[in-house]
A and B are shown apart, each in its own frame.
Chain A
Amino acid sequence: MSTTSTLNAASSADRGPPAWTRWLDLGDRALAVVLLAPAAILLALIIVYPVLRLGYTSFFSLSLTSGLPAEFVGLENYSLMLEDPVFWETTWNTVLITLITVPGALLVGLALALLANLPFGVQWPVRLSLLIPWALPLSFAGLIFAWFFHSEYGVVNDVLNRLGFEGIIWFNSPNWAFAAICLTIIWKTSSFMALIILAGLQTIPRSLYEAADVDGAGRVRQFFEITLPLLKPSIVVALIFRTITALQTFDIPYMMTGGGPGTSTATLAMYIHQNTVSFLDLGYGSALAVVMFALSMCVTAVYLRAIRTKE
């Protein structure tokens, strides 16, 4: 026994690592696969599987309130959707919120970032006040602003009254309610934009501005010729994140108006939630969610293409 094992050990030493470890000696490609596998499996379990399952469920009539088992119905959920006026209304509201709040948050965020980038003596209070709206949970922001805009007890109407204007019953009118929601979303999200843009601003070398000063370029010209072009990558990244979260807007309108008056401020995400959680119509809810997923993917594809053509 002992002699053979010694022999084996000796011979394997001659040939390099022991035989049983040979299968570990992988090529670069295989090594990459092995190293990526844990993360890939985890992602597959928590993202890929649910998404596939969602798509699968969307082809079934599955409503827990019916007491019936799931039945394959093909594209029926999708054709129902096309005839559903609430689907179109909530989708339109979602698109409108995206079109208003994403550029709005970008402009406010850019201004905030430029302000925060000014050479203050003490910078932390500025940075902190930038972080707070971003760190606040969305539903808290919704509740706080619901009180701000309350027609009787709200601070907004109080200020309007003191300035001599008549108070507005914000949540009684689709347009005012929509405006209140958009203002809240811009307040809540512009600090995220500002943080990313601020990081971008700090990578721009001071020497560029010094050179521009020497060449006699004014402040405005410096902004458009140096700051903005060099900020573009940060801005695009911020826009991608913001647009996708805007398409998924749920918490703020849910807390502020619950979609009212009527369904005039309901978003697609709220309609999905209503169908799945409240009506327990999992088939239809899944189909709606697939549409929202497709919408987000389209937007991401457009942005990614925009970046790629730049490079």
Chain B
Amino acid sequence: MNTRILAGALATAAMLAFAAPAFADTDLKIFVSSQHQPDVWRKVLDKYEAENPGVKVAIETGGNTSEAQAQYLNTVMSAKDTNLDVLMLDVIRPAQYAAAGWTSAFEGKDMSVYLPAYVEANTVDGKVVALPAFADAMFLYYRKDLLDKYGITPPKTWDELAAAAKKVAEGEKNPDLQGLSFQGKAIEGAVCTFLLPYWSQGKNLVENGKLTFDHDAAVTALSLWKGFVDDGTAKKNIAEVATDDTRKEFQAGSALFAVNWSYAWTHFQGAESAVKGNVGVTRLPALGSGEQASCLGGWEWGVSAYSTHQDEAKKLVEYLSSEDVSVFMAANGSLLPTYADAYKNDEVLKAVPWFADALQVVETAKARPVTPRYNEVSEVIRTTVNAVLAGVTTPEDGASQIEARLKRILR
């Protein structure tokens, strides 16, 4: 009998010994987009784990474009999967996720600390549905060495850019050097491709939830890009080019100008870059006498409504969207901060000096329409841009198609 009791006691003790840490620990899983420095986020999480004993945070990544990641997350969330606690979402998605009931709202959060554009992107019907991870906008990257060689100043208009590209092409006689690389593939970036010159004409796509489509401005915008293909400023297969293709081509030294997000800077300054030290970055050009519009990017942290650790997940997100982390990610991952003060931070400016001028671009960048049906809006615009650049559709027909299809979505 004694041996039985002893065995029982041992078994119970063993179970408790194994069970105890499992009860004490909270395991959180966060989804980070693979193109936004998950390894640098890991360092932030290591610090958080050290300050919060008992909390373990694992990173999950998957898909290499915003669309691929959205498809993955859509599948996970439609299945009401409890596996993911925190999701990093492209700035265009919090509205959709909130409408679907996939994210939990943050109660009583003071949003005034963030840049206004991100307050807007993360607030749906008066509720804070996500908190900003980092800011972003599109910039014009240029080859400083080549512009200096031909005595050209960075262009302020798209016409100046085309003229500069022509001058350099005639001087360099290098068939592998293209004038301008931008996104023509039917991906999310192509939506911004369309909107940049459209916005530059002072037009908006959506105002107060109503479609305010300007047909002539759309034709002008599509014609600008098609013109670049036809006059040789951009290469003939631009309809195949995605965001990271632009980055790679410029990095390999085969483009004079490139339209891209801020993440490209770190790559251009990296060891594998053929253009290291020869890269300039400035505001995107304007169309004629219009404004120099940029496309607002950035990613947000949402807490999954199906997470079984709501409080812990929200606490983590509060930390990840704090000013300290924003500064750290700017200095170590060249991700633009969501706090205005961080753009003047010495640590940041030492690592990425051009961030000093980036605040103005982020503050004036325009947001893509905020709507739960954004995926449909995006699909209409990007496939049409792609078809126009491939020469399948004329700019006039393309503009009419966008208008007709957007009218059905944004009734």
For A150, list chain B residues within 8 Å (CB): 240
* Stretch from B126-134, B304-312, B371-379 at the A interface: B371-379
A171 contacts B by Cβ under 8 Å = yes
B240 contacts A171, C-beta separation under 8 Å = yes
Contact mask B356-399 → A, CB, 8 Å, 1/0? 00000000000000001101100100011011011111000000
Q: Which of B96, B101, B240 has the most CB of A within 10 A?
A: B240
Closest to B98 in A: A67
Count residues of A near B (Cβ-Cβ below 8 Å): 24
B74 contacts A67, C-beta separation under 8 Å = no
B387 contacts A278, C-beta separation under 8 Å = no
Given A64-B78, A263-B383; A173-B375 close (CB under 8 Å):
no
A260 contacts B78, C-beta separation under 8 Å = no
For B240, list chain A residues within 8 Å (CB): 150-151, 169, 171-172
Contact mask A202-217 → B, CB, 8 Å, 1/0? 0000000000000000
B373 contacts A262, C-beta separation under 8 Å = no
A174 to B373, CA, bound (A): 28
A260 contacts B74, C-beta separation under 8 Å = no
For A262, list chain B residues within 8 Å (CB): 186, 383-384, 386-387, 390, 392-393
B70 contacts A169, C-beta separation under 8 Å = no
For A173, list chain B residues within 8 Å (CB): 390-392
A67 contacts B372, C-beta separation under 8 Å = yes
For chain A, what secondary structure do more than half of its interface residues adopt (helix, strand, loop), or is it mixed? Answer: loop
A280 contacts B74, C-beta separation under 8 Å = yes
For chain B, what secondary structure do more than half of its interface residues adopt (helix, strand, loop), or is it mixed? Answer: helix
B:326-366 near A, CB below 8 Å: none
A55 contacts B by Cβ under 8 Å = no
A262 to B184, CA, bound (A): 11
Given A150-B240, A174-B392; A279-B376 close (CB under 8 Å):
yes
For B99, list chain A residues within 8 Å (CB): 64-67
B:181-212 near A, CB below 8 Å: 185-186
B:66-104 near A, CB below 8 Å: 67, 70-71, 74-75, 78, 96, 99-101
Shortest CB-to-CB span from A270 to chain B, Å, is 12
For B100, list chain A residues within 8 Å (CB): 64-65, 67, 280
For B387, list chain A residues within 8 Å (CB): 260-264
**Selected contact of A261 from candidates B70, B375, B390, CB within 8 Å:** B390
Contact mask B116-155 → A, CB, 8 Å, 1/0? 0000000000000000000000000000000000000000
For A64, list chain B residues within 8 Å (CB): 78, 99-100
A260 to B379, CA, bound (A): 12
A277 contacts B by Cβ under 8 Å = yes
For A259, list chain B residues within 8 Å (CB): 186, 383
Closest to A65 in B: B372
A258 contacts B by Cβ under 8 Å = yes
Contact mask A150-174 → B, CB, 8 Å, 1/0? 1110000000000000000101111
B237 contacts A169, C-beta separation under 8 Å = yes
For B78, list chain A residues within 8 Å (CB): 64, 280
A274 contacts B by Cβ under 8 Å = yes
For B236, list chain A residues within 8 Å (CB): 151, 169, 172
For B373, list chain A residues within 8 Å (CB): 65, 279
A264 to B67, CA, bound (A): 20
For A277, list chain B residues within 8 Å (CB): 71, 74-75
For B391, list chain A residues within 8 Å (CB): 172-173
For A261, list chain B residues within 8 Å (CB): 186, 239, 386-387, 389-390, 392
A172 contacts B390, C-beta separation under 8 Å = yes
A258 to B71, CA, bound (A): 14
Closest to A67 in B: B99
Closest to A84 in B: B408
For B237, list chain A residues within 8 Å (CB): 151-152, 169, 171-172
Contact mask B48-82 → A, CB, 8 Å, 1/0? 00000000000000000001001100110010000
Closest to A274 in B: B379
Contact mask A25-69 → B, CB, 8 Å, 1/0? 000000000000000000000000000000000000000111100
A sample of 7 more A-B contacts (CB under 8 A), given A64-B78, A264-B387, is A169-B240, A173-B390, A173-B391, A261-B386, A262-B393, A277-B71, A279-B376
A-B contact pairs, 23 of them (CB 8 A): A64-B78, A67-B100, A150-B240, A151-B236, A169-B240, A172-B240, A172-B390, A172-B391, A173-B391, A258-B185, A258-B186, A261-B239, A261-B387, A261-B389, A262-B186, A262-B383, A262-B387, A262-B392, A262-B393, A274-B379, A277-B75, A279-B373, A279-B376
Closest 8 CB pairs of A and B: A262-B387, A261-B390, A65-B372, A67-B99, A64-B100, A151-B237, A172-B390, A169-B237
The chain A residues found within 8 Å of chain B, CB to CB, are 64-67, 150-152, 169, 171-174, 258-264, 274, 277-280
